[in-house]
A = this chain, B = another copy of it.
Amino acid sequence: MDKNVSELVSQLRELVGKQRAYGQAAGVMYYDAATAAPRGGAADRGKTLAVLSEVSYELETGETTGNLLHALDAVKEQLDFVTRREVSEMLRSYERTKKIPKEEYIAYTVLINDADAVWHKAKEESDWASFEPYMEKIVEFNRKLACWLAPEKKPYDALLDEYERGLTMEKCDAFFAILKERLVPLIHQITEKGIQPDDSFIHLDYPIEQQRKLSDWLMNAIGIDREYCSIGETEHPFTNGFSKHDVRITTHYHLNDPLSSLFSVVHEGGHALYELHVSDELQDTTIGGGVSMGIHECQSRFFENIIGRSRGFIHNLLPELQTLFPEQMKGVTEELLYRVANVAKPSLIRTEADELTYALHIIIRYELEKQLIEGSLAVSELPTAWNERVKAYLGLNVPDDRHGVLQDSHWSGGSIGYFPSYALGSAYGAQLLTEMRKTMDFDAVVASGDLKPIRDWLTERVWSKGSLYDPQEVFEQAAGAAFDPTYYTDYLTRKYSELYQL
């Protein structure tokens, strides 16, 4: 590396340091808003976020940044592998974000801050009308965003690509068609003939204070180092991370449904483990986090379902539950807990859905988003359309918008095109499981209570790589093959046929 190149790299490091600082400041404010801030502070926070986002925009798209990145790109043969990837990813962001007018970029930051506050209240009060004008603006912005970013594409394709590079409606349609074809008959079979376990014990009172202790146990059980990961409480569980030394998960406790928080902690814990195990050499770079939402949801759904809802995990979980909740768990056998944790039954809330019906929740959102973005569905029609689809796919009546269109935090958070990655990630996980089983007695490892071999496998094949490769490359490197959704449908068919003796 000649002297000039090394000078450029040190300018890059300084720029990245600044970008990361503004990213962390805004990220902490977001986390704080969801966990601790009083509700009335939203408007003032918006002013601060506007100031920070203007600087972030400038750092990402400014002339100095463009010149530096182009200069580095011109000498990329002299850069090490990590820096070369970092430069190419930053150039990509530079080109991308530059297409968004600065004023729109800042205004959207403020809008999302306000929308989030309004959504919290709207959800609490099941008051769609108060949220609707914000959703109007969010949809409008996303349609413009699609045009700015990729005018040559169909708008919703441009948005899908934001969350999972390379994902398109064509791919989604094919994927969801297979899921529908294979899973809907299975769900019908269970609804008609399946004998459901007696889950009355799970609706007793489970004091929150004890549920908090359970969260500690769960985080420990899946191998999260608490020195670098904390847990908070929010309306909607999420994970965010600022580096491998500072990751946060959140959960929401329900007095009469301990499984809700339990599986959300394991789910968010999967996200956290990914961020916590990115290679040290990627720290302080812009490519030191998980590569995409699809790969991220693969980790979270793998931990939540493939591990968390397995016989082996339940085997280790039961004694802990019995210690924390002796009265409530009296007489509950391993088999009963396993069956209750795996009840397949159409339900209203996505985050609490079982593995089998989960995909239907995603399909509902995917179809609605497509329509919203292509303009065939008005935002004002969204609650009705939501309820109709829930009736059609899940056979349920939605009692109120809190249990319907207002349930998720993604839209109020500005994310349209995110949901498909949940289903994709779930399917990725089933294929990785097959690959993992080739060299590991997976069930025995889970039953042993020490998940280190699984963490090591995922660290080597996925987690350590951060954003060094494109999502599809990461997946194929890990799976040793191209993506094939039948691993997922086979996994679900096998699991639920056994569970319901079909």
Contact = CB atoms under 8 A, between A and B. Distances in A.
Interface of A: 17-18, 20-22, 24-26, 28-29, 31-32, 35-41, 43-45, 47-48, 50-52, 207-209, 225-230, 232, 242-243, 245-248, 284
Contacts of A44: 24, 242-243, 245-246
A300 to B, nearest CB: 19
A226 B39 CA distance: 8
Given A21-B51, A47-B21, A38 B209 contact: no
Nearest to A38: B230
Contacts of A24: 29, 44-45, 48
A35 B227 CA distance: 14
A38 B232 contact: no
Contacts of A229: 38
Nearest to A22: B51
Contact of A48 (B20, B32, B41, B247): B20
Given A29-B28, A35-B36, A246 B45 contact: yes
Sorted from nearest, which 8 A-B pairs have the closest CB atoms?
A: A41-B246, A21-B51, A40-B228, A21-B48, A40-B227, A25-B25, A38-B230, A24-B48
A268 to B, nearest CB: 14
A40 B209 contact: no
Contact of A245 (B41, B52, B225): B41
B37 A230 contact: yes
30 contacts: A17-B51, A20-B47, A22-B51, A24-B44, A25-B25, A25-B26, A25-B29, A25-B52, A28-B29, A28-B32, A31-B32, A36-B230, A36-B248, A37-B230, A37-B246, A38-B227, A38-B229, A38-B247, A39-B227, A40-B225, A40-B228, A40-B245, A40-B246, A41-B242, A41-B243, A41-B246, A44-B246, A47-B284, A207-B209, A208-B209
Nearest to A21: B51
Contacts of A38: 226-230, 245-248
A48 B36 contact: no
A231 to B, nearest CB: 9
A21 B37 CA distance: 16
A21 B29 CA distance: 11
B209 A41 contact: no
Contacts of A52: 21, 25
Nearest to A35: B36
Contacts of A51: 17-18, 21-22
Given A25-B26, A38-B245, 7 more contacts: A17-B51, A21-B51, A25-B25, A40-B246, A41-B245, A41-B246, A44-B246
A17 B55 CA distance: 14
Nearest to A232: B36
Contacts of A246: 37-38, 40-41, 44-45
Contacts of A245: 38, 40-41, 43-44
Contacts of A35: 36
Contacts of A28: 25, 28-29, 32, 37
Nearest to A19: B51
Contacts of A31: 32, 36
A367 to B, nearest CB: 37
Contacts of A242: 41, 44
A29 B52 CA distance: 14
A112 B12 CA distance: 27
Contacts of A227: 38-40
Which of A18, A28, A50 has the most chain B CB atoms closer than 10 A to its own CB? A28
Contacts of A21: 47-48, 50-52
Contacts of A232: 36
Nearest to A230: B38
A208 B207 CA distance: 13
Contacts of A45: 24, 246
Contacts of A18: 51
A315 to B, nearest CB: 30
Nearest to A228: B40
